Structure formats: structure tokens, C-alpha cells
Amino acid sequence: MPKEDGGLEILDRVIIGKPKLWRVLLLNDDYTPMDFVVSVLERIYRKNPSEAVQIMLKVHNEGRALCGIYPKEIAETRVALTHEEARKEGHPLKAVFEPE
Ligand code: TYC
């Protein structure tokens, strides 16, 4: 039994059906500047500059794109940080997380 979650992983995943990993997606909007999105992807999602531009353009063209797959607590924290930074700068940028 894995120890890092107190041994309840099998209960969570197999019996209750709680997923281990969550997908974080960035959503498009008409107002957030492209360079702000690139900067969020570099700083919060640890993408390199060319990955960050590619993901930003995918969101811009297709409406959403995957930023990363993380354990729930990390996914939640990165989404919250994204919203906090966007709100501080007055941008409507949104991220969501969903079970893998
Ligand atoms: N569509 C925005 C623009 O034209 C850019 C953008 C990209 C916004 C990705 C949000 O998650 C986003 N300025």
C-alpha cells in the first residue's frame, strides 16, 4: 500500500473511484493579452518559452488546451494562482481542472 496518502489510495481510486491525477486546461477569452498568458504558462506551469507560446496559441485557436497533469492539490493550487494573478492584473483568464 503506498504510504504518501496514509494508505488510502486503493480505497480512493478503486473503491470510491477518486482519480489520482487531474488535467489542468487553460480557456480562451477575447481580452487577456497573449504575452500575459505566455508568462503564466512559463511561471506557474513551468513551460519553456517555445512550449508556452505553442500552448497559448492552441488555446487562442481551439478554445482550450492542456497545461499539465498533476495530483489534485497541485492542480488546484496552480488554477487558484492563475486566477489570482489574472485578477490582480484585471484580466479574465480562466483555468479549469478535471479528472484524468
Ligand atoms: N484570445 C486572447 C487574445 O486574442 C489570447 C488568449 C490566449 C487569451 C489564451 C486566453 O487562455 C488564453 N488576446
Helices (H), 31-71: 34-43, 49-62
Element at 22 (helix H, strand E) = strand 21-27
Integer Cα distance of 5 and 88 in angstroms: 34
Quick: pLDDT tens for 48-98.
999 999 999 999 999 999 999 999 999 999 999 999 999 999 999 999 999
Query: What's the average model confidence in pLDDT over 22-30?
Result: 98
> Is domain 21-99 classified as CATH 3.90.550.10?
no
Supply the residue whose CA is at minimum distance from atom 12 of ligand 1: 28
Question: Is the distance from CB of 93 to CB of 24 less than 8 angstroms?
Answer: no
Cell numbers for 84, please give them.
489570482
Higher pLDDT, 78 or 1: 78
Q: Using a 6 Å CB cutoff, which residues line ligand 1?
A: 26-30, 32-34, 37, 56, 59-60, 93
Shortest-distance atom of ligand 1 to CA 93: 10
Please tell me the distance between residue 99's alpha carbon and the centre of ligand 1 in angstroms.
Answer: 24
